Structure 1
Amino acid sequence: MPEAPAAAVSYLLGPRAIRERCRALLELGLEGRLEHFRVDMARLPAVADYVLEVTREAYPTLDIPVHSRWGHFDVGGIRRNAELEARLAPLPPAGRARAKLDLVVTSVLLDAGSGPTWKYQEPGGGTYARSEGLAVASFRMFLAGAFSSDPSQPLRADAEGLRGLSLESLAEGFQVTEDNPLAGLEGRLELLHGLGRVLPRPGTLFDLLAAHGRRVVTAAQVLGQVLQSLGPIWPGRITLDGMNLGDVWPHSALGALDHSDSLVPFHKLSQWLTYSLLEPLEEGGLQVTGLEELTGLPEYRNGGLLVDGGVLVPRDERLFTDAYKPGSEPIVEWRALTVALLDEVGQHVRERLGMTAEQLPLAKVLQGGTWSAGRKLAAQKRPGGPPPIRIESDGTVF
Structure 2
Amino acid sequence: MMTVSKPAEFFKSIRSVRDTTGPIYEFIKSQSGGNYYELDESKMDQVTDYLCEIITRDYGENYDLIPAHGRWQHLNAGGHLRVEQLVGEWRADQIDEVEISRRLVDLLIISVLVDAGAGNLWKYALSVTESYSRSEGLAVASYYLFVGGDFSNDSKIRCQVNGEKLKNFTMGQFIRGFQISDENPLNGAEGRLQLIQKLGESLLAHPEIFGSDARPGGIIDFLKKKSTIDNCINLNDLWNALMDGFVAIWPQGRATIRDEPLGDSWSLDTKLKTKKNWDNDFLNSLVTFHKLTQWLCYSLLVPLERYGYKFQILDKELQTGLPEYRNGGLFYDFGVISLKPEHLKRGLVLSEKLGNKEPIPMFTAEDGAIVEWRCLTIGLLDELHELINKRLRVNLTLPQVIEAGSWKAGREIAAEKRPSTKGPPIELYSDGTVF
Q: TM-score, normalised by structure 2?
A: 0.87
Correspondence 1:169-248 to 2 at 5 A: 169-199=173-203, 200-214=214-228, 215-236=231-252, 237-248=254-265
Which residue of structure 1 lines up, in the alignment, with residue 15 of structure 2? 16
Are the aligned partners of 1:44 and 1:311 in contact in 2 as well (CA < 8 Å)?
yes
Query: How far off is 1:3 after superposition?
Result: 4.1
Give the secondary structure class of the aligned counterpart of 1:210.
helix
Aligned to 1:287: 312
RMSD between aligned alpha carbons? 1.7
2:321 paired with 1:296: yes
Equivalent position of 1:56 in the other structure: 56
- 1:305-344 CA deviation, whole Å, 9 max, x = no partner? 0000111111123346332111111100000100111000
Structure 2 distance, partners of 1:5, 1:333, is 28
Q: Deviations over 1:360-386 (max 9, x none)?
A: 110111001100000000111012211
Find the aligned partners of 1:33 and 1:341 in 2 and give their Cα distance: 13
After superposing the two structures, state which structure 1 stretch, 16-25 or 363-372, moved more. Answer: 16-25
Matched, 1:263 2:263: no
Q: Which runs of 4 or more aligned residues in structure 1 lie more than 6 Å from their structure 2 counterparts after TM superposition? A: none
CA offsets 1:123-175 (integer angstroms, 9 cap, x no match): 58711111000000000000000100111111000011111210110110000
Which runs of no fewer than 5 residues in structure 1 stay unpaired?
A: none
Match in the other structure for 2:392 = 353
Shift of 1:243: 2.0
Query: What's the offset of the Cα at 1:9?
Result: 1.5
Q: CA deviation at 1:258?
A: 5.0
SS at match of 1:179: coil
Deviations 1:54-96 (CA, angstroms, capped at 9, x unpaired): 1222222112111000001111121212221123212111101
Picking from 141, 144, 148, the partner of 1:144 is: 148
SS in 1 for 2:287: strand
Whether contact under 8 Å (1:122, 1:136) holds in the other structure is no
Q: Deviations over 1:185-229 (max 9, x none)?
A: 111111111111122111111122211554112333322221111
Q: Distance in 2 between matches of 1:253 and 1:366?
A: 27
**2:80 alignment partner, one of 74, 78, 81:** 78
Matched, 1:386 2:423: yes
340, 353, 356: which one pairs with 1:315?
A: 340
Which of 337, 360, 383 is matched with 2:376 structurally?
A: 337
Native 8 Å contact 2:361 2:425 kept in 1: no
* Amino acid aligned to 1:259: F
Query: Residues 227 and 233 of structure 2 are in contact (CA less than 8 Å); yes or no, is this contact kept in structure 1?
Result: no
Q: Secondary structure at the match of 2:76?
A: helix
Match of 1:103 in 2: 107
Identify if the C-alpha distance between structure 1 residues 287 and 4 changes in structure 2 by more than 3 Å, giving closer, same or farther. closer
Secondary structure at the counterpart of residue 66 of structure 1 = coil
Q: Classify the secondary structure of the residue corresponding to 2:216.
A: coil
Change in CA separation of 1:212 and 1:331 when aligned onto 2, cut-off 3 Å: closer
Query: Is it true that 1:43 corresponds to 2:47 in the alignment?
Result: no
Other structure's SS at 1:264 match: strand
**What's the TM-score, normalizing by structure 1?**
0.95
Determine the structure 1 residue equivalent to 2:139: 135
Aligned length: 394
Q: Report the counterpart of residue 412 of structure 2 in structure 1.
A: 376
CA–CA distance in 2 between the matches of 1:147 and 1:203?
13
Quote how far apart the aligned CAs of 1:230 are: 0.6
CA contact (8 A) 2:75 2:143 kept: yes
Aligned partner letter, 1:18: V
Q: CA deviation at 1:122?
A: 1.5
Structure index of larger Rg: 2
Does structure 1 conserve the Cα–Cα contact (< 8 Å) formed by 2:226 and 2:237?
A: no
Q: What is residue 98 of structure 2 aligned with on the other side?
A: 94
Structure 2 unaligned regions, length at least 5:
204-213, 349-359
SS state at 2:266 partner: strand
Q: Structure 1 127/340 Cα, relative in aligned 2: closer, same or farther at 3 Å? A: same
Q: Which moved more, 1:169-178 or 1:183-192?
A: 183-192
Q: Distance in 2 between matches of 1:284 and 1:304?
A: 37
